[in-house]
Amino acid sequence: MVSNRVSTSRKREDARVQAVIRRDVRSNGAFVYAVKTTGIFCRPSCPARPNPENIVFFDNAVSAQTGGYRACKRCRPEVPLAHAAAHGTRAVLERALRKMKSGNYHREGETLFAEKLGIGGRQLRRIFEAQLGISPKRYADELRLQSAFKRVLHSDQPFTEISEACDFGSIRRFNSAFKSRFQTSPTRARAQAKNPRKVSK
């Protein structure tokens, strides 16, 4: 009997460790974890990367606080999920917009990008559609193109470097996206910006 209980407890703890490593959004609300070396407790989906050896688990935020740990300021584990969903939408959107300006969306992909915000990809899309009337991808694509456009017009940076810096993946994809959005090629846009009278319409 005792052996079975120990085995079950270990399996549950192992599952929780894996949930933290995966930053599993689905495990939010099921438990919280605290990091002994920092004195902070978090949701399973928190972007933090703790050493599993330093983790201790609690069934809820109250237990973690009673144990002497303070709440993480990034994932707000002390806020009930329903309350966070109702009142934290704008805060999540603002964090997402800041991260997108750094190019994180295209480098990480939508799923990981959303998980680092403590939500799922579907929820991220709902927030953007409701607040901005546009998908996260379209918004991130526009930011990327506007950044590339400024570099093309106001610098001598090679287009291959611009493509890489703006996370287009390839010069071909960069050229195609640029032409589609601005109805001109990067080469022509730069030439016209430098010598507007020499480039015919």
Per-residue pLDDT of 39-97, as tens digits, reads 999 999 888 889 999 999 998 888 898 889 999 988 888 876 655 555 567 778 888 98
Tell me the H-state helices in the chain: 2-22, 61-66, 81-87, 89-101, 104-108, 110-115, 121-132, 136-154, 159-165, 171-182, 186-194
Q: Looking at residue 197, what is its pLDDT?
A: 65
What span, in angstroms and rounded, lies between the C-alpha atoms of 179 and 17? 47
What span, in angstroms and rounded, lies between the C-alpha atoms of 196 and 53? 63
Instruction: Kindly compute the dihedral angle of the four CA atoms of residues 183, 189, 191, 197, in this order, to the nearest 10 degrees.
Output: 70
Over residues 143-167, the mean pLDDT reads 93
Banded model confidence at residue 4, pLDDT cuts 50, 70, 90: low
Q: Looking at residue 92, what is its pLDDT?
A: 84
Highest mean pLDDT among 81-90, 106-115, 189-198: 106-115
Q: Looking at residue 69, what is its pLDDT?
A: 94
Yes or no: say if 56 and 84 are a contact pair by the CB < 8 Å rule: no
Q: Looking at residue 85, what is its pLDDT?
A: 54
Q: Looking at residue 5, what is its pLDDT?
A: 56
Banded model confidence at residue 117, pLDDT cuts 50, 70, 90: confident
- CATH T-level topology, domain 138-194: Arc Repressor Mutant, subunit A (1.10.10)
More confidently predicted of 80 and 117: 117
Banded model confidence at residue 198, pLDDT cuts 50, 70, 90: low
Indicate the CATH number for domain 9-71. 3.40.10.10
Q: Looking at residue 200, what is its pLDDT?
A: 47
pLDDT at 3 over 60: no
What positions carry a catalytic annotation?
42, 46, 72, 75
- What ranges do the domains of the chain cover? 9-71, 81-136, 138-194
Q: Looking at residue 47, what is its pLDDT?
A: 83
